[in-house]
Amino acid sequence: MSKLTEDTIRALVDEHGITSRGQLYLENPSAYEVARTRFPDLLDDLFPKNIIKWTEDTIRAVVDEHGITSLGQLYLKNPSAYEVARTRFPDLLDDLFPKNIIKWTEDTIRAVVDEHGITSLGQLYLKNPSAYEVARTRFPDLLDDLFPKNIIKWTEDTIRAVVDEHGITSLGQLYRENPSAYEVARTRFPDLLDDLFPKNIIKWTEDTIRAVVDEHGITSLGQLYLKNPSAYEVARTRFPDLLDELLPRKKAVNKHRS
């Protein structure tokens, strides 16, 4: 997986036409988190209209403007407003969303899962992040009980089974389809990855990177990053002049925006 830097985050934003912090969070939460914690000035540069001094009034304005009716909706629409409200103005959240004041117990979490037909940990996280967080930290056995199919002991056999079941044909596809299986395979069973995806074993040179760009009709840094992050990372760190030559227009845009 490529290391997220200012350049790679800019490339993602350009490639997907991302226009807000919230959209970046939804499209690529890891890129958002790295930008938020390591490159806050980058977020200000990329999304200048999103620079808001969060007060009770500005948070209320966001809620009114977007017709937000729940904590979960506020979290998805504007995670920074949600985070400030949660940490600095908890009474404001109680005032804005009184129906969301729930004392989380095993029973109330079960009720949320049943009411919304939630069938996975990820779905619970998206539908009700506070219920998920309480369940994860206080009732881990409840999660095992509610979502038993999510309990997988990753072995070479179970990773092979996932690859076969989903028709996965590349490292990138495995990463997108099942990041936990990918991570275990990468760290514990590297030979398994070589066995499953032999065509992915490439010695990166200027010629092989050129071949990837030509084969896929890649026209931008962001597209190269998304199509083949390992080729992008090698080119960025070892052959920067090659990137200037292959993708001059995108490089020029990035320099201008920096």
- Reported in sequence order, the residue ranges of 59-202 that DSSP labels E, i.e. its strands, are none
Same domain for 156 and 196: yes
HEC readout, 60-126:
HHHHHHHCCCCHHHHHHHCHHHHHHHHHHCHHHHHHHCHHHCCCCCHHHHHHHHHHHCCCCHHHHHH
pLDDT at 149: 57
Enclosing domain of residue 160: 152-200
Q: Are residues 132 and 159 in the same domain?
A: no
Mean pLDDT over all residues of the chain? 78
Q: What is the pLDDT of residues 24-35, one digit of tens each?
A: 877 787 888 888
pLDDT at residue number 95: 85
Does 195 share its domain with 223?
no
What are the pLDDT digits (tens) for 155-191? Answer: 898 899 888 888 888 777 787 777 778 778 877 887 8
Statement: residue 221 has pLDDT above 80: no
Tokens 């590349």 sit at which residue? 170
Residue 166 included in any domain: yes
How confident is the model at residue 106, as a pLDDT?
92
Regarding whether 195 and 216 lie in a shared domain, the answer is no
Mean pLDDT score, 110-117: 88
| Cβ atoms of 144 and 163 closer than 8 Å | no
pLDDT at 125: 75
Is residue 142 located within the same domain as residue 171? no
pLDDT at 255: 37
- Residue 48 falls within a domain, yes or no? no
- Pick 154 or 55 by higher pLDDT: 55
What DSSP assignment string belongs to 141-192?
A: HHHHHH-GGG-----HHHHHHHHHHHT--SHHHHHHH-HHHHHHHHHH-HHH
Residue 6 lies in a domain: no
Question: Would residue 219 count as lying in a domain?
Answer: yes
Separation between Cα atoms, residue 216 and residue 170, nearest integer Å: 15
Q: What are phi and psi of 222, to 5 degrees?
A: -60, -40
Domain count, the chain: 3
Domain boundary (200, 220, 238) is at: 200
Report residue 258's pLDDT band, with 50, 70 and 90 as the boundaries: very low
Distance separating alpha carbons of residues 127 and 92, to the nearest angstrom:
21
Kindly state the average pLDDT of the residues 37-43.
Answer: 84
Whether 238 maps to a domain, the answer reads yes
In a domain, 191, yes or no: yes
Is 143 found in the same domain as 120? yes
Write the single-letter amino acid at 111. Answer: A
Q: Over pLDDT 70: what percentage of the chain? A: 88
Q: Are residues 213 and 181 in the same domain?
A: no
Is 213 found in the same domain as 181?
A: no
Q: Residue 2 falls within a domain, yes or no?
A: no
What's the mean pLDDT in 9-37?
A: 82
**pLDDT number for residue 202:** 55
- Specify whether 186 is located in the same domain as 215: no
Neighbour tally for 3: CB within 10 Å? 10
End-to-end CA distance of the chain: 24
Helix, strand, coil abundance in the chain, percent, nearest 5: 75, 0, 25
